[in-house]
A and B are shown apart, each in its own frame.
Chain A
Amino acid sequence: MAMTGMRQAQHRHKKSPQKRHGNSPAKGAKDQKDLDLDESSAVIQAFRVFQNELDNRNDRNERIVKLSRDITIESKRIIFTLQRCVGSENKEDVLNEAKVKFKELHESKFFPLALELEGQDPYQYLKAFSPGLQEYVEAITFFHYVSGGNLVDIERVQSDLTFPLKTLQSSEVKTPTQSTVIDKEHDASHPINDESSQTKSQVIIPIPPSEYMLGVADFTGELMRMAINCVGARDLETPSVVLDLMRVINSAFTNFGNIPRELRQKTRVLTQSLQKVERACYTLRVRGSEIPTHMLADVFTTAGSMPSYNFNTEDMDENFD
């Protein structure tokens, strides 16, 4: 039964196109020509131009999204690396490892991204690279905090994402993958872009201040994790130092006026993380005297997990990006 059914179906499939061709060859072809392929029509000619423009824009957008995704993944890895600093004997080694990873990230992802944005309105593609950029700001802010104890300013972050075109040539020689990216860029883009990139001495990924601040907001999540981890590593000093910075950031965020919606949401998360660390410090003070230090870590991982419920859901959202 099933076999015959299948055969019949196959038979029908084979037959139907022939039938269509046989039935109305002239009319079908003519309709196609009149409606779809009248290249002499002004409308069609105009739409050919639009087609080309839209395709170029969508392709560029797609490439930027891909780079952004790679940047997000790599930035998350760097953040994990940096979290290992806590309680580590050789902090310098971890920092150096992070430094190498950042350099690699700049060369292999941000530089091609800067080339994609060169000669464009970066805000047109901001949605495409914003997730990666924010994650990167989070990572680099965390890195500077761990190595220097300060909040890094936007100018410093921006300078890392500014590429003089001399390194363009040298890195072209160094890594063949990049030179292919550049070739593609030249093929795809308008001649105007080529001219401007020749006259310009540098290419940059402009960081809109709100993107930077959103990254800083995420960075406070890492501070919280770090503070909790510190306790696990029996470091009882760091949480209160971390808390200072979190309080500064939190009070600044809650005082912002004219704040964009996205940032307001992150401010709520920040306040929650802050309270979580405060609670940990409280527990440390109250129970520190009665519990041996090696057991305190367990107290925090359980005590901390309850109020953090909202934070975790937020974090999951982030991972879906």
Chain B
Amino acid sequence: MESATKIFKDFQDYLNADHDLREEIRSVVRDLEQTAREIQTILQAIHQPSNASNATSLCDQATTHFSKVREHYSSLAAKILEGQYYRFNDHWKFGTQRLVYLSALIVYLKEERLASREETAETLGVKTKREEGFHIDLDDYLMGILNLTSELSRLAMNAVTAGDYSKPLKISKFIGELDSGFRLLNLKNDHLRKRFDGLKYDVKRCEEVVYDLTIRGLVTVEPEKKAA
């Protein structure tokens, strides 16, 4: 029975250590999510008609906050032992998804292209691959990109309101391309799959905007863009 007592004492120690570590992780993740919200607030201004032209300066302003993000991630990474990323992954999942979306939004606004997983990881100050250490989980990256499509389909509408008729066409083409990209993936019946099922509504919303513009002759669609 003495051995049993030791077994249970060891386990209690393990539970306590686990609990303490999770508390520490939670506190860092709280800061991380706070920073993400600040960035989000800055970038929300892109929907304002008055800001339609100075998206670049908004992006620059938002980009400065990513130095804080990198600090948070490095203190988070320091707490996680090798091979235990997925033990605690649930804590920062949503924060990471949101930050992927925000950094990908900045890249799109500036260069009208998809932010690769590598450069997103760099912006966040984490690794790309699991083998290299604290990384972006592929699911979280893809979730972030799916959040981006929702935001862009909203931007397509608001761009029209602001008098920018060319942006919706580009966004529609971009989302269409992402849609065919996601169709390549054999998704299991999980949260990513559910979120992906919502992508078609983003595609549809963009197509409707393009349709509205085209039918009123507000834009002339060039032949090669017809497919999009």
Contact = CB atoms under 8 A, between A and B. Distances in A.
A259 B184 contact: no
Interface stretch (B40-48, B51-59, B65-73, B80-88): B80-88
A259 B15 contact: yes
In terms of DSSP, what is the predominant structure of the interface of chain A? helix
B78 interface: no
Range, interface on chain A: 35 or more
A54 B85 contact: no
Contacts of A50: 138, 142, 184-185
B46 to A, nearest CB: 22
Contact of A122 (B8, B18, B83, B114): B83
A54 B185 contact: yes
A58 B186 CA distance: 9
A290 interface: no
Contact of B184 (A34, A44, A57, A258): A44
B184 A48 contact: yes
Interface string B143-187: 000000000000000000000000000000000111111111111
Interface string A119-141: 10111101000000000000000
B131 A54 contact: no
A47 B181 contact: yes
A153 B7 contact: yes
Contact of B7 (A126, A151, A259): A151
A42 B174 CA distance: 11
Contacts of B228: 34
B138 A54 contact: yes
Interface in A250-289: 252, 255-260
Interface stretch (A83-91, A162-170, A172-180, A241-249): A241-249
B215 interface: no
A35 B227 contact: yes
Contact of B183 (A31, A36, A252): A36
Given A256-B15, A257-B16, A121 B83 contact: yes
Given A43-B178, A54-B138, A209-B14, A30 B184 contact: no
B130 interface: yes
A135 B114 CA distance: 46
A46 B86 contact: no
Contacts of A38: 177, 180
Contacts of A36: 180, 183
Contacts of A53: 138
Contacts of B7: 151, 153-154
A150 interface: yes
Contacts of A51: 184-186
A34 B6 contact: no
B227 A34 contact: yes
Given A34-B227, A44-B181, A151-B3, A55 B186 contact: yes
Nearest to A48: B184
Interface in A36-66: 36, 38, 41-44, 46-48, 50-51, 53-55, 57-58
Contacts of B10: 153-154, 209
B4 A58 contact: no
Nearest to B113: A42
Contacts of A258: 15-16, 18-19
A144 to B, nearest CB: 11
A192 interface: yes
A296 interface: no
Nearest to A206: B83
Contact of B4 (A35, A249, A255): A249
6 contacts: A30-B227, A43-B177, A50-B184, A123-B84, A123-B86, A208-B87
Given A47-B181, A121-B130, 6 more contacts: A46-B114, A47-B185, A123-B85, A153-B7, A209-B14, A258-B16
Interface of A: 30-31, 34-36, 38, 41-44, 46-48, 50-51, 53-55, 57-58, 119, 121-124, 126, 150-151, 153-154, 190, 192, 208-210, 212-213, 244-245, 248-249, 252, 255-260
For the complex of A and B, the 8 pairs showing the least CB-CB separation, nearest first, are: A47-B181, A252-B8, A123-B86, A258-B19, A124-B86, A123-B87, A34-B227, A209-B14
Interface of B: 1, 3-8, 10-12, 14-16, 18-19, 83-87, 89, 113-114, 116-117, 130-131, 138, 142, 176-188, 227-228
